[in-house]
């Protein structure tokens, strides 16, 4: 029998597929492996069931994706929550801007969550949040410890397929647990190697939540910008768009050109200096990638 299902977790060669509420353990059919087809958590797949065990299946194809991300590795999202701590670890504009660029390129709506509000002054939180609110990104300041901001965030996730992504240790799993205690069934295996029993998320798993799904994902260190050309970057900074008509050259890299609307807006303080600094750093990284690939 052929049925459709949703990949809710993948783990060492096995895919766990939700078929109308029943969890089926699957492998992928040989011809798919030959094509080196990557399957993501969040993929909709066709599978053959009922050969041997009722709980086993074989994935035969992947249905077209609406969207897909590598970091975190997940497909078909309605919403990506980009989580970062205000402190511990310190907030990084560059990491936030890189993740925003990747989400813009993938065409996935973003909601920003700034965590550990209990560890910082409200003014500091506001300073960071305002940079992103001014760009039009919905930004929530929360604390899993005190519960601040959790109820409102929970409301905003209802009925959607949402993944929480961001650097390691920023509090993604803690935020999810605050939103829905017990939501993480299998994540949070205690690692004795990493600092005294900290819970570190090992894989992406979708869990049903309020008419949609929530995904916790493993944190990462740095964010590598891959599969992107330097010339594409400005298009992933939405606030640049309205100043580009002023640029003398088209296309304009907004770096060395003499008359540039974007550079003017930065000089006037209309475009945040942290955003422009990220643009320069990412542009440089993409240029280096391009030169390396040419060799
Ligand atoms: N004070 C404070 N500590 C927090 C908060 N949220 C998380 N923490 C702490 O931060 C550490 C990391 O939290 P996790 O929820 O495991 O972080 P994570 O983003 O899921 O980490 P990875 O799974 O490794 O990517 C833990 O020691 C938490 O107790 C918060 O709101 N306030
Ligand atoms: Mg985690
Ligand atoms: Zn320009």
Q: How far, in Å, CA of 67 to CA of 43, rounded?
A: 10
Contact between 206 and 183 under an 8 Å Cβ cutoff? The reply is: no
**How far does the centroid of ligand 3 lie from the alpha carbon of residue 256, in Å?**
8
**How far does the centroid of ligand 3 lie from the alpha carbon of residue 105, in Å?**
20
With the most atoms of ligand 1 within 8 angstroms of its CB, the residue from 71, 141, 174, 177 to mutate is 174
Pairing of strands 56-62, 22-28: parallel
Closest C-alpha among 30, 2, 29, 25 to residue 14: 25
8 shares its domain with 73: no
Contact between 84 and 114 under an 8 Å Cβ cutoff? The reply is: yes
20 shares its domain with 117: no
Instruction: Answer whether residue 222 is part of any domain.
Output: no
Instruction: Answer whether residue 221 is part of any domain.
Output: no
Instruction: Answer whether residue 50 is part of any domain.
Output: yes
190 shares its domain with 267: no
Instruction: Answer whether residue 116 is part of any domain.
Output: yes
123 shares its domain with 248: no
73 shares its domain with 212: yes
**How far does the centroid of ligand 3 lie from the alpha carbon of residue 99, in Å?**
23
Which atom from ligand 1 is nearest to the alpha carbon of 168?
A: 25
Ligand 1 pocket: which residues have CB below 6 Å? 115-116, 118-119, 143-145, 168-174, 198-201, 218-219
Closest C-alpha among 9, 25, 43 to residue 215: 9
State the ligand closest to the CA atom of 247: 3
If one counts the domains in the chain, the total is 3
73 shares its domain with 151: yes
Which atom from ligand 1 is nearest to the alpha carbon of 83?
A: 19
Give the CA count within 13 Å in the CB-facing half-sphere of 192: 0
Tens-of-pLDDT digits for all 295 residues of the chain?
899 999 999 887 889 999 988 999 999 887 776 666 689 999 999 999 876 677 789 999 999 999 999 889 999 999 999 999 999 999 999 999 999 999 999 999 999 999 999 999 999 999 999 999 999 999 999 999 999 999 999 999 999 999 999 999 999 999 999 999 877 754 444 444 444 446 788 889 999 999 999 999 999 888 999 889 999 999 999 999 999 999 999 999 999 999 999 999 999 999 999 999 999 999 999 999 999 988 8
Instruction: Answer whether residue 224 is part of any domain.
Output: no
With the most atoms of ligand 1 within 8 angstroms of its CB, the residue from 121, 142, 144, 163 to mutate is 144
Instruction: Answer whether residue 117 is part of any domain.
Output: yes
Q: What is the CATH number of the domain that holds 271?
A: 1.10.40.50
Domain range spanning residue 281?
230-294
Q: What is the CATH number of the domain that holds 51?
A: 2.40.50.140
**How far does the centroid of ligand 1 lie from the alpha carbon of residue 268, in Å?**
38
Q: How far, in Å, CA of 221 to CA of 203, rounded?
A: 15
């Amino acid at each position: 029998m052929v049925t459709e299902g949703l990949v809710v977790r993948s783990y060492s060669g096995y895919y766990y597929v939700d078929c109308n509420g029943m969890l089926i353990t699957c492998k992928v059919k040989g011809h798919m492996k030959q094509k080196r087809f990557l399957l993501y958590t969040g993929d909709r797949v066709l599978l053959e069931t009922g050969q041997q065990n009722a709980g086993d299946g074989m994935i035969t194809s992947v249905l077209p994706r609406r969207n897909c991300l590598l970091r975190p590795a997940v497909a078909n999202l309605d919403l990506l929550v980009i989580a970062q701590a205000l402190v511990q670890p310190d907030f990084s504009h560059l990491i936030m801007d890189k993740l925003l660029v990747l989400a813009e390129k993938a065409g996935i709506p973003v909601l920003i969550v700034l965590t550990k509000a209990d560890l910082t002054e409200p003014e500091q939180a506001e300073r960071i949040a305002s940079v992103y609110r001014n760009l039009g990104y919905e930004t929530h300041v929360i604390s899993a410890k005190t519960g601040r901001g959790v109820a409102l965030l929970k409301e905003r996730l209802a009925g959607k397929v949402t993944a929480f992504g961001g650097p390691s240790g920023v509090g993604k799993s803690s935020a999810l647990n605050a939103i829905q205690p017990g939501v993480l069934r299998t994540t949070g295996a205690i690692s004795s190697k990493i600092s005294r029993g900290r819970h570190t998320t090992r894989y992406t798993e979708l869990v049903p939540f309020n008419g949609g799904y929530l995904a916790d994902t493993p944190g990462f260190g740095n964010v590598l910008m891959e599969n992107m050309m330097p010339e594409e970057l400005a298009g992933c900074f939405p606030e640049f768009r309205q100043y580009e008509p002023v640029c003398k050259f088209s296309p304009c890299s907004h770096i060395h050109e003499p008359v540039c609307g974007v550079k003017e807006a930065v000089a006037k303080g209309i475009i945040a200096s942290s955003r422009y600094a990220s643009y320069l750093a990412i542009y440089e990284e993409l240029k280096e990638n391009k030169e390396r690939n040419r060799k």
